[in-house]
Amino acid sequence: MRRRRTDKRVTPLDPRYGSRLIARFVNMVMKEGKKSIAEGIVYGALDEGAAKLKVQPLDLFQKAVENARPLVEVKSRRVGGATYQVPVEVRHDRGTFIALRWIRDFARGRAGKPMKDRLLEEIVAAYQGQGSSVKRKEDMHRMAEANKAFSHYRW
């Protein structure tokens, strides 16, 4: 190895809930450095969702992310002339990042409402074990299961 490993940057806690997870998500939702707008969107969605389901906002978000977090993924691996989809386990922090990205992207993909409402719908759906982000996780697990014969190609 030529260079030393860089230290992982620690995201500061978010001001309202004292959660690194929510702080990371606010940063992911943020566009063009407009953090106060991103905070308004995320906090608004969490507050409405918590009121709707009668749970704490932090618990709502943590369970939604946990329900959307993949445990395995498939990676392409070339062996000889063929490319195999090899199932590999996902590290916890990478799985969390993937879940946050899916929640954000599927909320952005919904149409016809303000971002706060779209995000609210996606988080509540993930909390209940439904929604596009949870479906994507199940599809990924199904694909890994179908390709587990190639798991000996793991590197």
Q: Going residue by residue through the chain (155 aa), what tens digit of pLDDT does each one get? A: 688 888 888 889 999 999 999 999 999 999 999 999 999 999 999 999 999 999 999 999 999 999 999 999 999 988 889 998 899 999 999 999 999 999 999 999 998 899 999 999 999 999 999 999 999 999 999 999 998 888 887 76
User: Which structure tokens are listed for 13?
Assistant: 């806690």
User: What one-character-per-residue DSSP string does 78-111 give?
Assistant: EETTEEEEEEEEPPHHHHHHHHHHHHHHHHHHS-
3-state helix, strand, coil in the chain (%, to 5): 60, 10, 30
Q: Is there a contact between 130 and 58 (Cβ–Cβ < 8 Å)?
A: no
> How crowded is the C-beta side of 73, counted as CA atoms within 13 Å?
15
User: Which structure tokens are listed for 53?
Assistant: 């389901």
pTM over 0.75: yes
**Considering only the top CATH level, what class is 20-153?**
mainly alpha
